[in-house]
Chain A
Amino acid sequence: MPACCLLLLGLLLQLPAAFCQQARGSLQPWSQGVIAVVVFLVLVAIAFVVNRFWCKDKVESAENVVSVEDKPDAVTSNGHEGRYVSAAADFRSKENQHAYENTVEPEERVITTAM
């Protein structure tokens, strides 16, 4: 008998604990989840902005160092995720070396006809 009562008491003590587990602190699980996601997305946005800003800086400074040929970068196998900034290559056309230049056409010999 006493063991039975103790068991019942133990059960009763467990049940309220179970219901209290629904919300830790004062937040409901849904709101906990949503807040965490919002914080994460804000961090992602900040990282994106920083990346844009920082990488734009890098690209601009690389413009000043223009290499003549379009060398393919040697891809390193450690430390680099493979994002290589071939800044010089972007500004050269692959088909024609002089595509973006204003080439001066040689003056044709002007032929005047009678008419």
Chain B
Amino acid sequence: MSQPSTSTTELPGLPGGTAAGAFSVADIVVVVLYFVFILAVGIWSSVRASRGTVGGYFLAGRSMSWWPIGASLMSTDVGSGSFIGLAGTAAAGGIAVGGFEWNAIWPLLALGWIFVPVYIAAGVVTLPEYLKKRFGGQRLQIYTSVLSLILYIFTRISTDIFAGALFIQTALGWNLYLSTVVLLAVTAVYTIAGGLTAVIYTDVLQTLIMVLGALVLMFIGFEKVGWYEGLKEKYSAAIPKITVPNTDCHLPRADAFHLFRDPITGDLPWPGLVFGLTVVALWCWCTDQVMVQRSLSAKNLSHAKGGSVFAGYLKLFPVFFLVMPGMISRALFPDEVACVDPEVCKRICGAAVGCSNIAYPKLVIELMPDGLRGLMIAVMMAALMSSLTSVFNSSSTLFVLDIWQRVRKQASEQELMIVGRVFTLILVVISILWIPMVQSANSGKLFDYIQSIGSFLSPPIAALFILAIFCKRVNEPGAFWGLMAGFVAGVIRMILEFSYSAPSCGEEDRRPAVLKDVHYLYFALILFGLTSIVILLVSFCTPAIPEEKVSDCRGRGATEILGMPSSAPAPWAVGPLQSLVYMWFCGLPTNPAPTLSPEERAALEHRLTSIEEKPQWKIVCNISAILLMATNIFLWAYFG
């Protein structure tokens, strides 16, 4: 979720007259083929993976190369929420929302070059565990793991389910429950069986489908609208026929084709886009379990860096295949996508505030020929599934290693594996439970609330991690009270946002100044600064952590966590045949595994926490990173 609140992200509860007609056989064949391929890759990688150990299940056995990691990073981030949200916001406000994607390159490089070496050297699997090792004590670990789980359930999972449901309702008109259950059942099979390995390899296939399919739609759309020049012309003239009198909300923005907008009056002010967004993006890419876990599954540091660079290159694309098609959609269908009159909008998409969210589905229905429509359905499913599987796996990791292991300290590895799988199943059920919420969110306000939860609660965590890595003096009380202060400030702003709704077209803006004038990106920056100040103040006023404890964070438990299958038998055996099948499905070892001698242990530990790189690969990684940064800067300056 690298785009926090993408402004008017309203969710229509019911489709209007835009439901698609009958689907041709070609479409259905394409969709079925897609599911078959995904299941095949998922099951193949599940069987290949060593999934009976914590390291094998949650960290893919530390055996991933750069290209699966990069592809997985990109597809996990670009979910169905991005397809709907980016295109919708671009239809309403222009190209600046693309800054959310292009900004991500910098935190990605920070992840590979600054954060991952620290995490690898500390020998951790989860980030709350890193906080525990760095600061000691329990409350930081518990607070961050519980907060992360809540954020995942209420922001990542819900956003993707909402957006997927919107697409299904608007473009397909299928039964929502049936389609979601089938989708989640398919993903659950290989996620539960294969763990991170299956998730990452299926993500690779899904990235391919997503990028190729979306690029096809982009080319078709650009051809229809007259390429970039034609888009500029038609977008500036994309005014709906029915407008609200004495207002100008039906007009497209004058700065629609610029990334950098006015710091005070812009809808996405440029200091907010450059600095405030970086804070939230740092949380998302460098301090959040979902993304970091992928990088931690790398064979070595060079592969982790390569994965970051590859993901960075992939992240250059969404502006072209999501943001611009959103604008194309408005340019081609202004009466539906850019409606402003509440009655009209309610008729079109069921939400009175606006229908910009149907921008992408509308384009799919209207522009894609037979067969290719099936491809676009596969694209949306790919986006949805790739994000959900990653969130399921990472939530399971957090729950098992930070919460369950805390409660049951003597849990065997097999028990942890079983708990991990059961928790994934629970999450699948929770995801299905979001659908009644989707159907009752007629005003669409719920979606807005959900987006704001993320952006108001994440800056304190980013501040903590940065200070934890760069400033030795920060200690546990400082960290804890800083997080609390940040949490309180974020919750206050959240409550204010919930109590005062944004004005619709023509209404007077009666919100307090702190909501109206302080953009949420500026608030993220302010919150970041506030948390840092509190952390530093409290740290300097309390005794420091002794030097040796801070330095010796190296993986005391790395071997236990990452290398070793256990030989303890399952606590409850159902019966010989059932238990064998069960053990095979879950990849649990049936024979006792050999134990290592102390020297072998030490060697394994050294390898697992090593951040050495071969010099030639280090140079290759550095040069690719510089090229990526140069490309990114060129694009920012070109479209600025």
**A residues in contact (CB < 8 Å) with B:** 7, 10-11, 14-15, 17-19, 21, 24, 29-30, 32-37, 40-41, 44, 74-82
Contacts and interface: CB of A to CB of B under 8 A. Distances in A.
B635 A40 contact: no
A81 B233 contact: no
A14 B611 CA distance: 56
B609 A11 contact: no
B626 A18 contact: no
Given A14-B251, A37-B634, A24 B258 contact: yes
B270 to A, nearest CB: 12
Interface string B257-299: 1100000000000000000000000000000000000000000
Given A21-B257, A76-B551, A82 B611 contact: yes
Contacts of B258: 21, 24
Interface residues of B, number: 45
A15 B233 contact: yes
Cβ-closest 7 pairs across A and B? A77-B553, A36-B637, A18-B236, A82-B611, A33-B638, A77-B122, A82-B117
A80 B470 CA distance: 8
A35 B301 CA distance: 33
B488 interface: no
Interface in B607-639: 609, 611, 626, 629-630, 633-639
Among B113, B114, B236, the one with the most A-chain Cβ atoms within 10 Å of its Cβ is: B236
Nearest to B122: A77
A30 to B, nearest CB: 7
Contacts of A75: 121, 554, 609, 611
Contacts of A74: 551-552, 554
B468 interface: yes
Nearest to B124: A77
A79 B471 contact: yes
B118 interface: yes
Contacts of A10: 239, 251
Contacts of B472: 78-79
Contact of B550 (A21, A44, A76): A76
B445 interface: no
A78 B630 CA distance: 29
Given A30-B638, A37-B637, A75-B611, A81 B114 contact: yes
B640 interface: yes
Contacts of B554: 74-75, 77
B236 A82 contact: no
Interface string B214-233: 00000000000000000011
B236 A37 contact: no
B633 A40 contact: yes
Given A74-B554, A77-B554, A32 B640 contact: yes
B433 interface: no
A81 B113 contact: yes
Nearest to A20: B254
Interface string B307-319: 0000000000000
B51 interface: no
A7 B248 CA distance: 11
A77 B134 contact: yes
A18 B232 contact: yes
Contacts of B609: 75
Given A29-B637, A76-B551, 8 more contacts: A14-B252, A15-B237, A19-B232, A36-B637, A44-B629, A75-B611, A77-B118, A80-B118
B637 A11 contact: no
Contacts of B469: 78-79
